């Protein structure tokens, strides 16, 4: 139940970002941008937009890098971290074999890597480097 709740919170927060980003562009655009969130494909769409250099459109609230950062952060704090906590609670209640502990370690490392990637994306973005060169 807790896993489903954390997934629901994550999707809800991501839909809020999509709505905030695209509300001035109309309902059709909000729905188009919300679809990848609902099928779990939003991170791939954001990565594609960054890779191809998509710029902020007139009417959008923030640029594509900020949108991707918000989505990654929300996934981390609403899905990944609760997932690790849920795994630890299951181990504490049932006792964990080696595979359960390996799963927790992999989840924790993956979550840490996600945070590092967010920082790296901001540090290496050419436009951000021009604004703050040091």
Tens of pLDDT, residues 57-92: 899 998 888 999 999 999 888 988 888 888 888 888
**Least confident range of 15-19, 90-94, 102-106:** 90-94
Inter-residue contact 3 to 83 (CB < 8 Å)? yes
pTM of the model: 0.81
Residue 37 is given by DSSP the state H
Using a 10 angstrom Cβ sphere, with 0-12 exposed, 13-18 middle and 19 or more buried, the burial of residue 99 is exposed
Question: Residue 133: is its pLDDT beyond 80?
Answer: no
Average pLDDT over residues 91-114: 88
Predicted pLDDT at 48? 93
């Amino acid at each position: 139940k807790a896993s489903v709740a954390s997934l629901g919170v994550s999707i809800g927060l991501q839909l809020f970002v999509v709505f905030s980003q695209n509300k001035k562009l109309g309902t059709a655009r909000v729905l188009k941008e919300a679809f990848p969130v609902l099928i779990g494909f939003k991170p791939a769409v954001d990565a594609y937009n960054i890779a191809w250099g998509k710029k902020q459109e007139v009417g959008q609230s923030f640029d594509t890098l900020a949108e991707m950062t918000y989505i990654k952060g929300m996934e981390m704090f609403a899905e990944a971290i609760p997932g690790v906590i849920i795994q630890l609670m299951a181990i504490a209640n049932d006792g964990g074999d080696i595979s359960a502990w390996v799963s927790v370690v992999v989840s924790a490392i993956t979550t840490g890597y996600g945070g590092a990637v967010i920082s790296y994306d901001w540090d290496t973005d050419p436009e951000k480097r021009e604004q703050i060169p040091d």
